Amino acid sequence: MARPVSESNARPVRRSTPKPPTVTAKSKLGPVSSDAIVLIRTSGTLDKGGGAGGEAWIIIADGKRAGTAYINMVDDTVRGLHPSFHIFLNRPSQGRQIGRIAYERGCALSQYDVVYAHMRKSNTASRKAAEYAGFTEVTTQNDSQLVMVWYRGRYDSVFKPTGSSHAIDHPAARIVI
């Protein structure tokens, strides 16, 4: 004999999945002018710019600490031993175009003529900031992350040096010691 179906065991009406909220800027303070951003050289830690061949900077925006930037030497099968640039911005400093200037100035202040940046493929903010600073994508099939490269000086369309001078004469290359 079949059991009668009671109202309490009936399936609820199917509801549509709510749409996620729109993503707003992480900071409502707006962009920071490039004149208000300063990189201060620091010793860094062993794994963040303080190791052999590494460099590190504190990023200051509008007189407040905005984050850190550093270069580590990384060894991989495709590129061998190479400098890799990383930027970490504090949450209130994200979305204020500080990363663009930090990429540009960090590379200009570094001792290297060729600098790589490794980042998650889904990190569009870092990608846009790096592209703004002159990085180009060089990711291969063997790379699990997005890899971009920056060259010091002027280069033609195949990224070969056009001159022998690598001097920097740019206001973005200032540093406070």
**What is the b/e burial string over 72-107, where b = at least 16 CB atoms within 10 angstroms of the residue's CB?**
beeeeeebeebbbbbbebbeebbbbbbbbbbbbbbb
pLDDT of residue 66: 94
Q: Is residue 65 part of a domain?
A: yes
Whole-prediction pTM value? 0.69
The strand pair at 136-137 and 55-61 is best described as unpaired
pLDDT digits (tens, 9 = 90+) for 45-70: 888 888 888 999 999 999 999 999 99
Q: How many residues does the chain have?
A: 177
CATH number, residue 153: 3.40.630.30
How many separate domains does the chain show? 1
Print the domain residue range for 106: 32-160
Q: Is residue 168 part of a domain?
A: no
Selection from 29, 145, 38 nearest residue 94 by Cα: 29
Q: If residue 99 lies in a helix (H) or strand (E), which one and from where to where?
A: helix 98-109
Q: Is residue 99 part of a domain?
A: yes
Residues of the chain below pLDDT 70: 1-12, 20, 22-27, 154-177
DSSP summary character for residue 161: B
Q: Is residue 92 part of a domain?
A: yes
Q: Is residue 155 part of a domain?
A: yes
